[in-house]
Structure 1
Amino acid sequence: MEIKKIAILGSGRLGRGIAENAATKGYDVTLFTQGAGSQNAPHRIEQSLNRKVAKWAMTETQKRVILNRINYTADLKELKNADLVIEATIDHFYTKQELLRTADRLCRPEVVFILTSATLPVYEVARGLTRSNLLVGARFIPPVVDVDAVELSYSPDTDKNAIEIVKRFIARLGKQAVRVHESSGLVNPRTLVTLINEAAYLLDEGTASADAIETIVKESWGMDQGPFEMADRMGIDIILDWMEQLQKRYGDRYKPAPIIYRLVRQGRLGVKTKQGFFSWNEDGQRADKPGHGQEEN
């Protein structure tokens, strides 16, 4: 079956990134917008494309063509038209499973599902689906349009043809599917939260300011974003959820630093609330000057 129409369940940072990437490569995309912040999805995607236009990476006409390939809806009945379904919602087991069960009833029986979970193995989520053998794990790494590696995982019962369909889709997006054995957290999420958590402990202990830690980590390893910017862009509440799930699986090496809890309790969740480790404006850019991030907590 030729894949032409992509359905993406979830319009957060991950879902938007996959939508933009897929539309750029010629797919027709339906992005299902449900939950807090979903109304900003069209604006956020257009902002991302505007940055490419500003850098002469694409023309205004090309941007409009890409935007016209993305349809936004909250009506799950639209899933009946999908050739491939990508789940990109928050990492809560029952939320994902119930949404996929609904999609299972509405989609054609041959349609393959992609699970993008950072912490939940494919075999756990597949239980209860009539097409459990057509669920393939593909962990896209934000910012999706810039990161070429995708963590590919699947259970022993996963249909081989389904795996090949997902591999071809990933390749058409211009990315490399890297096989990872099923485990909670895979590779990127576990290493990411470890870096963020250790940086947060350093900040809590008063070893250095947020900007000092950010600068040292970025300059040491040639990174575009340091641990605090990554946390703010991902959402500190999401990072905390990952840490707590990993702590249950692997023990206290993933125990969240106190400042992570404090920021979430205060509603300082990062870019989406304009306050986190740093301050952010409407365009997702630093609103505070270096040296004015969270220094004393």
Structure 2
Amino acid sequence: MSVPERVGVIGGGRMGAGIAHAFVLAGAEVVVVERDADAAAAASARLRESVRRSVERGTTDRGFDALAASLTTETDAAALAGCALVIEAVPEDRELKVHALRRAERVVHGDAALATNTSSISIDDLASDLTRPDRFLGLHFFNPVPSSQLVEVVTGTGTAPALVDDARAWVEALGKTAIVVRDSPGFASSRLGVALGLEAIRMLEEGVASAADIDAAMELGYRHPVGPLRTTDLVGLDVRLGIAEELHRTLGERFAPPELLRRLVADGHLGRKTGRGFYEWSEK
């Protein structure tokens, strides 16, 4: 199976743009819906630059003009009407996600699939506000999407088995590997990744070792490609804090966010996207 002919993405930030990029390279026409004209223009510029880099690196045999012609950005959810798959990729806030999903559900065909890119919010919880929970599931992509090899396919209790099969095939068509996870707090990847990341932050807070040495312990000792603190910088400290708070609420004290994490987020040090987190970052 190939990817759907037309795919919608709600939210054109780093994750949404990455998801759109992946589907365009796989041959889909993609429409990205943003909240207003300024956000849509920023998403368009982000996507075009990302696609241009793929062409320059030779990761696609299609030209830039052909790829760019398959990408549109809109502000009206009505643009999603012809999409066979719509993926919500707005910030990790339940109300924002429900609003985006309900807008999409009102305009797409009844057979269209809806997916959320949430990394921690319950699929069943989100599905409770939809009229077709059988056509809804989680597609949890990882940052940076174009080069990441994993997608979590997260199933709710109402998700149709045939939709799960389709989702696995779509992920394979993107050149990625799907794992199927039952809806549970943090799914598989966030639960494991956050547990390691929070412990690394506690170690840094306690002065056990430097950030670089804590990361080196996992990179060299356990063959992790990137250490937990650098990973947190790449994901975004605010994103990791939000997931930790949700896991703390649902799974208990072992996921309580360290004070150091809260302090850095409060000070606006969110990782690579702000230039500073546990490391100093430069765009150069």
- TM-score, length-normalised on structure 1? 0.86
In the alignment, the residues of structure 2 paired with residue 29 and residue 62 of structure 1 have an alpha-carbon distance, to the nearest angstrom, of: 16
Q: How does 1:50-61 map to 2 (within 5 A)?
A: 51-52=53-54, 55-58=57-60
Alpha-carbon deviation of 1:165?
2.6
Is it true that 1:82 corresponds to 2:76 in the alignment?
Answer: no
CA separation of 1:39 and 1:213: change in aligned 2, threshold 3 A:
farther
Match of 2:201?
Answer: 200
| Contact 1:13/1:234, CA 8 A, preserved across alignment | no
Q: Deviations over 1:167-207 (max 9, x none)?
A: 22212111222121220101111111112111111111111
Look up the equivalent residue of 1:230 and give its one-letter code: T
On the 8 A contact 2:232/2:271 being kept in 1, the answer is yes
| 8 Å CA contact 1:12, 1:41 repeated in 2 | yes
The residue aligned with 1:246 is 247
* SS of equivalent to 1:201: helix
Q: 2:43 aligns with which of 17, 41, 60?
A: 41
- What TM-score do the two structures reach when normalised by structure 2? 0.89
Partner of 1:292 in structure 2?
A: none
The 8 Å contact of residues 11 and 34 in structure 1, kept in 2 or not, is answered as no
Q: Tell me which residue corresponds to 2:181.
A: 180
**Relative to 1, partners in 2 of residues 1:6 and 1:215: Cα closer, same or farther, differing over 3 Å?**
same
Give 1:37 deviation, angstroms: 7.0
Unmatched tracts of structure 2, length 5 or more = none
Deviations 1:84-129 (A, max 9, x none): 1011122222211121111111212221101221112221111121
CA RMSD of aligned residues (A): 2.4
Is this contact kept in 2: 1:118–1:184, CA < 8 A? no
Aligned ranges 1:1-297 → 2 under 5 Å: 3-34=4-35, 40-49=42-51, 51-52=53-54, 55-58=57-60, 62-281=63-282, 283=283
> Which amino acid in 1 is paired with 2:122?
P
> Distance between the aligned counterparts of 1:54 and 1:85, measured in 2?
28
Question: What is the percent sequence identity of the aligned residues?
Answer: 28
Residue 235 and residue 88 in structure 1: after superposition, are their counterparts in 2 closer, same or farther (change >3 A)?
same
- For 1:58 and 1:130, the matched residues in 2 are separated by 39
Separation (CA, whole Å) in 2 of partners of 1:101 and 1:58: 34
How far residue 48 of structure 1 moved from its aligned partner, in angstroms, is: 4.0
Contact 1:141/1:188 (CA < 8 Å) preserved in 2? no
Amino acid at match of 1:197: L
Which amino acid letter does the alignment assign opposite residue 43 of structure 2? Answer: A
Query: In the alignment, residue 148 of structure 2 is paired with which amino acid?
Result: V
Tell me how far 1:46 sits from its aligned partner: 4.4
For residues 134-191 of structure 1, the C-alpha deviation after alignment (integer angstroms, 9 at most, x for no partner) is 1022222222222222222223322233223322221211122212122010111111
What secondary structure, in the 3-state scheme, does the structure 2 residue paired with 1:81 have?
Answer: coil
C-alpha distance in structure 2 between counterparts of 1:54 and 1:219, whole Å: 32
Which 10-residue stretch deviates more, 242-251 or 263-272? 263-272
